[in-house]
């Protein structure tokens, strides 16, 4: 059965490039970005893992740990890792799970038989501090992902967890946000700064986190 937003992220134990882990124990109270790539020693995956390594400080600033998975062996992961550093300029700085028996990939429905073979598609799960799945994305093998988008979603999730707001199209941290449609305009005006009423249901306000900091 496929995993849905709000489900608990299933736990597992697995071998990684940083030793054996129990997933929930490894992430503890952090957020986690758990993503699959089709195969080691492949071009798009090399660029994706390099970019993710370069964004380490961005993930850390949001309290998020990163972990990847493919159906390759831990020996293959170790053999490929130097290429990631060489190509991207940033050494691999997060664990990659080895999943040759497909146990983890199947638990997270990362192998899609219509996609040609038994390697994983490009899945991404953002999991919160309570182990709840908050975002899932699935990209085809031929399309590299945009990991800045993953950071943007974490920013939105963390902001909207804290305040009664939602984030509009193409929002990035610091932009104006939208007050919850559940609030009356009177309450919105009392609670938020710089309210612009575009429609009764569309009220832009300043980012409340910016004025709180």
Helix (H, G, I), strand (E, B) or coil at 115: helix
CB-nearer residue toward ligand BEZ: 142 or 213: 142
* Centroid of chain to Cα 67: 10
Interacting stretch for ligand BEZ, rule CB under 6 A, among 37-45, 55-63, 151-159, 183-191? 37-45
Least separation, in Å, of the C-beta of 121 and ligand BEZ? 9
Reduce the DSSP state of residue 170 to 3 states and report it: coil
Please identify which residue in 3, 15, 21, 44 interacts with ligand BEZ, judged by CB under 6 A: 44
45 part of the active site: yes
Q: Which is nearer to ligand BEZ, 54 or 166 (CB)?
A: 54
Considering the complex, state which of residue 44 and residue 166 has its C-beta at the smaller distance from ligand BEZ. Answer: 44
Pick from 9, 14, 33, 45 the residue near ligand BEZ by CB under 6 A. 45
43 binds ligand BEZ per the rule CB under 6 A: yes
Q: Is 131 in contact with 123 (CB distance < 8 Å)?
A: no
Q: How far apart are CA 99 and CA 80, in angstroms?
A: 15
Please list, in sequence order, all residues whose beta carbon lies within 8 angstroms of the beta carbon of residue 49, skipping any fewer than 6 positions away: 37, 68, 84, 88, 92, 96
Stretch that binds ligand BEZ, among 1-9, 12-20, 35-43, 173-181 (CB under 6 A): 35-43
Strands (E), the chain: 13-16, 19-22, 31-36, 64-70, 96-98, 122-127, 133-139, 165-166, 177-179, 196-199, 202-205
**Residue of 32, 33, 45, 64 marked active site:** 45
Q: Minimum Å distance from CB 177 to ligand BEZ?
A: 36
> What positions carry a catalytic annotation?
45
Residues near ligand BEZ, by CB under 6 A: 38-39, 42-45, 141-142
């Amino acid at each position: 059965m496929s995993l849905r937003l709000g489900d608990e992220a299933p736990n597992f134990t697995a071998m990684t490039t940083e030793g054996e882990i129990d997933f929930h124990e490894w992430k503890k109270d952090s957020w986690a970005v758990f993503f699959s790539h089709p195969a080691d020693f492949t071009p798009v995956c090399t660029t994706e893992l390099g970019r993710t390594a370069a964004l380490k400080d961005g993930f850390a600033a949001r309290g998020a740990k990163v972990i990847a998975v493919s159906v390759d062996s831990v020996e293959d992961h170790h053999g490929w890792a130097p290429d990631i550093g060489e190509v991207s300029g940033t050494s691999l700085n997060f664990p990659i799970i080895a999943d040759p028996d497909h146990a983890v990939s199947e638990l997270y429905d990362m192998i899609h038989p219509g996609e040609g073979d038994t390697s994983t598609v490009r899945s991404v799960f953002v999991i919160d501090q309570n182990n709840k799945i908050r975002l899932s994305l699935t990209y085809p093998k031929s399309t590299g992902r945009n990991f800045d988008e993953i950071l943007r979603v974490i920013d939105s999730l963390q902001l909207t967890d804290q305040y009664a707001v939602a984030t509009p199209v193409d929002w990035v941290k610091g932009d104006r946000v939208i007050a919850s449609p559940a609030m009356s305009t009177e309450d919105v005006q009392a609670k938020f700064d710089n309210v612009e009423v575009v429609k009764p249901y569309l009220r832009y306000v300043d980012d409340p986190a910016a004025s709180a900091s």
